[in-house]
Chains A and B, each alone.
Chain A
Amino acid sequence: MAELFLEVFGEEIPARMQVAAEQRMAETLSKALKDAGLGGDAPRSWSGPRRIAVSISGVATSQPDLNEERRGPRADAPEQAIAGFLKGAGISRDQAETRSTPKGDFLFAVINKKGQAASDVIPDMISGLLAQFSWPKSMRWGRGKQRWVRPLHRINVIFDGKPLAGTMPLSDQADDQIAFGALSFGHRMLSPQDVPLTTGDAYEDALAPHFVMVDRQKRIDHITATMADMTASENRVVKDDQGLMAEVAGLVEYPHPIMGTIQDDFMSLPQEILVVSMRSHQKYFAVLEQDGKLAPRFITIANMTPDAARDDMIRAGNERVLSARLADARFFWDQDRAAPLESGLPRLKGITFFEGLGSMSDKADRMAKLAGVIAEKIGADVNAAKRAALLAKADLVSETVGEFPELQGIIGGYLAAFDESEAVATAITDHYRPEGPQDTVPSDPLTIAVALADKIDTLTGFFGIGELPTGSKDPFALRRAALGVLRLVAQNNLDLRLNEVFTEATKGFSFEKSSDELLPFLHDRLKVWLRDQGIRHDVVTAVVRMNDSRHDDLVHLISLAQTLADVLTSDDGQGLMAGYRRASNILSAEEKKDKATYNGDVNKDLLQGDAEQSLFKEVVTLSEYTLKSTDDMVAQINRLGQLRGPIDAFFDQTTVNDDDANIRVNRLNLLGKIRGLMEILADFSAIEG
């Protein structure tokens, strides 16, 4: 058994692509070895700005010998069939044996293939793998035809401690190729020289003296620890930012955090503007005071070793760059705050929301009406909701949002705080939420009303003109909007009939009625969400259905699903299901035979014996409960568990298919009643096991 070590080295790989490429390379190499019969343990891998490496131990040094006998076509088969067989087996006509079998004469191929040495197989395997390797975006360079993410310079292949010779062609020119080697390269500035490689185990140590930390996690740990030390000495903390950390770890080979100062006169800007300016343009970490306020500090992660004089130079340069950025941002912000948020409204007419759905101004007007309606239903301040919804999109024409689109909503909130009530400002700030499955869900009623109005307007509109998501394509993020609606309703326990809201929302558009596909679309999101909450998938299917009497009441469906899931874990529930199945099996068999549906009235006089009579009594009692509210239905599900005993007794003591046809029909009708009682609540036929 031996180790295969591969390192590819080239020009800077975009940070966002490195980890996925590392994983893909490890997986494809591992699979290629297995497919070639060479086995191999689980791969280890590394990636950074200039290199990706994979090490796989436990690789066989040669392929197993192949001893195989294959039966081919009949000896007198058409030429084509025989040629195909010979080609597939890799033998000539002379080498094929003709054997007599009871079914006639057939051709046989006896293949005894000596396994090749791994070192003969691997070079082509690797050049093939690299030639086929897919990047999210790739390019050609020089005279080459080969694509890679950025120019590729070195391919290092070491097997069993020895370099493997091989080449990867870059074009059809014979000399235009990369020859495999075993020499990596140090840090671009700090150690621009060849670095001999040996094994995966020695990889980190080989490059460490050349100022390359090949282990991504170590780079991250080093950045985290150093930043923590720096800020702790000032009694401050780094603002946590995993996304930025992931990116920065892909921009440096030798991470060296350097802390700089934000000029005082910029500290009066809204903190979000500072953070976004630093993050999106400069990839700086923000630093917080103990009370969570932004501190006048930033941290840049340099790709150099610590050196006092150089650090000062780098710090000063970054401070100047940041000041220029923030001067720009302040210019935009000063322009924006010179006029009230409301003054942006007329300019929303110039922004198309979507062809056929009007301008952003139209959307704002629709949202205002809808938010008013929703506010009334959920007990929020109606006028405040209308006001907040009308102004919610006005910051889209602000200079600051033009520069930093990710600040939409937040800038609106800041601007609203100058002229509007605090509640309205908060609603504007948070109305895009929840923006993803992890984002917090607003709980303030006014914000809920505006957030729902925005999302429901979008959903109703796009569904109304038939722009539905298809497969993986969801260009208008309608799934996210629908999940947002669902989470807003569910987590705030809102008593809201969505069909009523859709009908209201439709009034703002030119189409007549809301799409029939919209509620099922929400149901799909609900199903996924319920399963994520740990509810059994069959319970979800049984409850979330269009023929529930409150199918547009999400909180209702959620309660039912939770109750049913609970009941089914109890003995009563299990017994009830057994009874339901017995009843519905007999019913569907007999209904099929008779071409009838047994849901007629039960004739009391035809009931025979205790078991039948007491089952009937239970059924009557259960039928008398009103089932309007969710609570009614939840209680009914719990009560149904009590039917278990009477159903068992009925089947023990009674034969449904009585000789007397009237008694038989009466019994089927009784079972039909039970089925009816249950199916009001859920589709029990969907419940498994």
Chain B
Amino acid sequence: MTSSSSLDRRKSFQSIILTLQQYWADQGCVILQPYDMEVGAGTFHPATTLRSLGPDDVWNAAYVQPSRRPSDGRFGDNPNRLQHYYQFQVIMKPSPANSQDLYLGSLKAIGLDPMNHDIRFVEDDWESPTLGAAGLGWEVWCDGMEVSQFTYFQQVGGIDCDPVPVELTYGLERLVMFIQGVDNVYDLDWDGVPKDQGGKVYGDIFHGAEVDYSHHNFDRANTAMLFQHFQDAEKECASLLGADHPLPLPAYDQCMKASHIFNLLDARGVISVAERQGYIGRVRALAKGCCEAWVAQGKTKNHPDQKDLANG
């Protein structure tokens, strides 16, 4: 038996995450853990969606967010597409004047020295119809590969952001594939441990899940139940927002739930083209309600964070 991995351990999937976390911690970010619900992207985490608005004058945070896009499942057969993947998300409010330099510093930290590559900021405006959110920015290219999205949020939940946050999103699989020079996501070295010593590649950990979840997303998920759950989430969200004492955070959980259920129903192919816009509008209405309640709460003494500050 020979040692099959000659990978520099700093290039392993988990090391890249650790390095990014350390880098952004050094820049003064709150390092959070993933939100404990199914979401389509790191943006959905309340640390981004809600904290882009509301009472914090300064909010800097970074976290990994597992993200699910049910219709991107390929039964483990496609080397580039996954229904479950990881984003590394940074949100800084207000956007610092040196945002781009900070970002380039993070690339250098993970071994992509901008002096050894061709880095470009290419126009790409971002919009999330379900979150009622939009921003201007770029996709960042490294030697032709899109490695990040860089967005100055202008609006979230239909509300203008003031101050303006900047959001940096790294698609971790794609980024690390680039760093490791790997063409198939399932070949990504996860831990930098040689295979003969029990080291794991991405496929060892996730291939089975991709196969099972593809069956679930496309064929097995119970659509009648999902339709019901969508309605329940919608109702619960409204109810949590409607009372004398609105609870935007729990209400927003229901909004995320509704959004994920919609994505599942979409993957199951039971939502027609004509109905699609309607569902997106319903989720947006929930997001908008939550954001408005969050902002309103921030202006009163009822806001949990404000209370803590007052008591502390």
Pair from one complex: yes
Q: How far is the CB of A335 from chain B (nearest CB, A)?
A: 12
Given A142-B96, A313-B143, A320-B181, A189 contacting B115 (CB threshold 8 A)? yes
* 77-131 of chain B: CB within 8 A of chain A: 78-80, 94-97, 99-100, 114-123, 125
Chain A hits for B272, CB < 8 A: 350
A418 to B137, CA, bound (A): 44
Contacting pair B95 A142 (CB below 8 A): yes
Residues of A within 8 A of B137 (CB): 150
Q: Are A137 and B125 in contact (CB under 8 A)?
A: yes
Interchain CB contact (< 8 A) of A324 among B80, B94, B152, B164:
B80
Query: Using Cβ atoms and an 8 Å threshold, which residues of chain B touch A328?
Result: 80
Render A33-47 as a binary contact track against B, CB cut-off 8 A, 1 for contact.
000000000000000
A344 part of interface (Cβ distance < 8 Å): no
Indicate if the CB atoms of A318 and B121 lie closer than 8 Å. no
B29 interface residue (CB < 8 Å to A): no
Residue A310 CB within 8 A of the other chain: yes
Q: Is B232 an interface position by the 8 A CB rule? A: no
Complex partner residue of A137 from B95, B96, B136, B162, CB under 8 angstroms: B136
Query: CB distance A323 to B183 under 8 Å?
Result: yes
Cα(A399)–Cα(B164), bound, Å: 39
In the assembly, what is the distance between CA of A636 and CA of B97, in Å? 76
B163 close to A (CB within 8 Å): yes
Interface status of A604 (Cβ within 8 A of chain B): no
Q: Which residues of A contact B178 (CB under 8 A)?
A: 317, 320
Tell me if B142 counts as interface (CB < 8 A to partner A). yes
Contact residues of A between 532 and 547, Cβ < 8 Å to B: none
For chain B, the count of residues having a C-beta within 8 Å of the partner chain is 40
The verdict on A304 contacting B118 (CB below 8 Å), with A141-B95, A317-B144, A317-B145 known, is yes
Q: Mark A296-320, 1 if CB is under 8 A from B, else 0.
A: 0000101110000110011011101
A151, B97: Cβ atoms under 8 Å? yes
B144 touches A318 (CB 8 A): yes
How far, in angstroms, from A14 to B125 measured CA to CA in the complex?
10
B residues less than 8 Å from A304 (CB atoms): 118
A151–B122 CA distance with the chains assembled, in angstroms: 15
Complex Cα distance A328/B174, Å?
Answer: 15
**Given A151-B95, A314-B143: A320 and B183 within 8 A (CB)?**
yes
Known contacts A189-B114, A324-B183, A328-B80; A11/B143 CB under 8 A = no
A151 touches B152 (CB 8 A): yes
User: What is the number of contacts between chain A and chain B, taking CB atoms within 8 Å?
Assistant: 108
Asked whether A396 is an interface residue with its Cβ less than 8 Å from the other chain, the reply is no
B273 at the interface (CB under 8 A from A): yes
A153 B97 Cβ-Cβ under 8 A: yes
Cβ of B154 within 8 Å of any chain A Cβ, yes or no, is yes
By a CB distance below 8 angstroms, the chain B residues around A477 are: none
Q: Is the CB of B123 within 8 A of A303?
A: no
Closest B-chain residue to A251, C-beta based? B120
A328 to B72, CA, bound (A): 13
Q: Answer whether residue B138 sits at the interface, using C-beta atoms and an 8 A cutoff.
A: yes
Which chain B residue lies CB-closest to A153? B97
| Chain B residues whose C-beta falls within 8 Å of the C-beta of A283 in the assembled complex | 122
Contacts of A153 in B (CB 8 A): 97
Bound-state CA distance A284–B143 (Å) is 12
Q: How far is the CA of A143 from the CA of B97 in the complex (A)?
A: 10
- Looking at B120, B135, B181, the one whose CB has the most chain A CB atoms below 10 A away is B120
- In the assembly, what is the distance between CA of A350 and CA of B123, in Å? 33
The one of B118, B121, B125 in contact with A314, judged by C-beta atoms closer than 8 angstroms, is B118
**Residue A560 CB within 8 A of the other chain:** no
For A329-368 the 0/1 string (1 means CB < 8 A from B) is 0010000000000000000001110000000000000000
Query: Cβ of A31 < 8 Å from any Cβ of B?
Result: no
Shortest beta-carbon distance, A351 to chain B, in Å? 8
Q: Say which residue of A313, A318, A331 sits within 8 Å of B116 (CB atoms).
A: A313
Question: How far is B273's CA from A314's CA once the two chains are assembled, in angstroms?
Answer: 41
Is A11 a contact of B123 with CB atoms below 8 Å?
no
Q: How far is the CA of A143 from the CA of B117 in the complex (A)?
A: 33
What chain A residues lie within 8 Å of B145 (beta carbons)? 317, 320-321
Residue-wise, chain B 204-228 has the 8 Å CB interface mask toward A (1 for contact) of 0000000000000000000000000
- In contact, B142 and A317 (Cβ under 8 angstroms): yes
Residues from chain B with a CB closer than 8 A to the CB of A314 are: 117-118, 143-144
Please tell me if the beta carbons of A139 and B79 are within 8 angstroms of each other in the complex.
no
> Hey, what's the 0/1 contact readout for A1-33 against B, CB within 8 Å counting as 1?
000000000011011100000000000000000
- A318 engages B143 (CB within 8 Å): yes
Is the Cβ of A142 less than 8 Å from the Cβ of B163?
yes
Taking CB atoms, residues of chain B closer than 8 Å to A310 are 115-117
Residue A217 lies at the interface, judged by CB distance under 8 Å to chain B: no
Identify B163's interface contact among A138, A143, A321, CB under 8 A.
A143
A303 touches B143 (CB 8 A): no
Is A570 engaged at the interface, CB distance under 8 Å to the other chain? no
Q: Is A282 an interface residue (CB 8 A)?
A: yes
Q: How far is the CB of B169 from chain A (nearest CB, A)?
A: 17
A228 on interface, CB distance cutoff 8 Å: no
Q: Are A302 and B97 in contact (CB under 8 A)?
A: no
Chain B's nearest CB lies how many Å from the CB of A134?
Answer: 15
Smallest CB-CB separation from B78: which chain A residue? A331
| Residue in A closest to B80 when the chains form the complex, CB atoms | A324
Q: How far is the CA of A78 from the CA of B183 in the complex (A)?
A: 85
Chain A positions within 8 Å of B96 at CB level: 142
| Interface hits, B137-188 → A, CB 8 Å | 137-138, 142-145, 152, 154, 162-164, 166, 178, 181, 183
Please report the C-alpha to C-alpha distance between residue A282 and residue B117 in the assembled complex, in whole angstroms.
Answer: 16
Interface residues in A120-145 by Cβ distance below 8 A to B read 137-144
Contacts of B152 in A (CB 8 A): 139-141, 150-151
- Which residues of A are interface residues toward B (Cβ below 8 A)? 11-12, 14-16, 49, 137-144, 149-151, 153, 188-189, 251-252, 282-284, 300, 302-304, 309-310, 313-314, 316-318, 320-324, 327-328, 331, 350-352
A-B contacts, 29 listed (Cβ < 8 Å): A11-B121, A138-B136, A139-B154, A140-B162, A141-B166, A143-B94, A143-B163, A144-B164, A151-B95, A151-B152, A189-B114, A189-B115, A283-B122, A300-B118, A300-B144, A304-B118, A310-B116, A313-B143, A314-B117, A314-B143, A318-B144, A320-B145, A321-B143, A321-B144, A321-B145, A327-B79, A331-B78, A352-B273, A352-B274
Q: A12-B121, A14-B123, A324-B183 are in contact. List 6 more A-B contacts (CB 8 A).
A: A142-B97, A189-B114, A252-B120, A318-B143, A320-B181, A350-B273
Shortest beta-carbon contacts, A-B, top 5: A317-B143, A14-B123, A318-B144, A12-B121, A302-B118
